[in-house]
A and B are shown apart, each in its own frame.
Chain A
């Protein structure tokens, strides 16, 4: 974004980089019809995964990200699975899927433990007791090894969708 003032810089983190294997985790994975506990490795065993960390559902960045995913046809690709993750509850995810008109799946992680595992925690100023993941994208192969990583260094920030798409094409 081009803004006529400084935005908030986020501190450096030790998040997974290209070539690293990301930690496995299990959380409720919410689809349009039900949710159930699914591990990340279960998904990567099927096909490469594009893991999108975004702000809580209802915040405009979550809306923008899923509009992009939908409009770019990323959910129609059969070479990888685009999977979201936010701290919102499964019920909120169900509403997001309906509101955005997408047949996608999102992990629900209200305690933000996955962001802790990935070292991408974003403590939210003015919302006491709540943290969420930094905006981040990890393109993972079948072994959960990072092929492309982007983690926000400013707040707010958005992924470079062209770069992500290029990484998906390289899978």
Chain B
């Protein structure tokens, strides 16, 4: 069983996280979900990765990209895996 390249740090019922999930599913991307605690102070794993405690955050092992904030992530996914990336790679 190989690990998916993309890891999504998410909070249950967080709409910004669901927004990212929808986009991952739209591009049929394999990803692993890691759920964190509602309390920001309990999110050290996310803080170590992104420097911030906000979710969603993703780590994409295939590109080496780590980022947070759903708007940025959606933009990144579009550029990397969406229509805009077609033809290039």
Contact = CB atoms under 8 A, between A and B. Distances in A.
A joins B in a complex: yes
B40 interface: no
Q: How large is the interface on A (under 10, 10 to 19, 20 to 34, 35 or more residues)?
A: 10 to 19
B1 A42 contact: yes
Interface string A105-148: 00000000000000000000000000000000000000000000
Contacts of B33: 36-37
Task: Give chain A's interface secondary structure class.
Answer: mixed
B44 A33 contact: yes
A97 to B, nearest CB: 11
B34 A35 contact: yes
Interface residues of B, number: 12
Interface string A41-64: 010000000000000000000000
A33 B36 contact: yes
Contact of B32 (A36, A39, A90, A94): A36
Contact of B45 (A33, A37, A94): A33
A74 B1 CA distance: 28
16 contacts: A28-B35, A33-B43, A33-B44, A34-B35, A34-B36, A35-B34, A35-B35, A36-B32, A36-B33, A36-B34, A37-B33, A39-B1, A90-B35, A91-B37, A94-B37, A94-B42
Given A34-B9, A36-B33, 11 more contacts: A33-B42, A33-B43, A33-B44, A33-B45, A34-B34, A36-B35, A37-B33, A39-B1, A42-B1, A90-B35, A94-B42
Interface of B: 1, 9, 32-37, 42-45
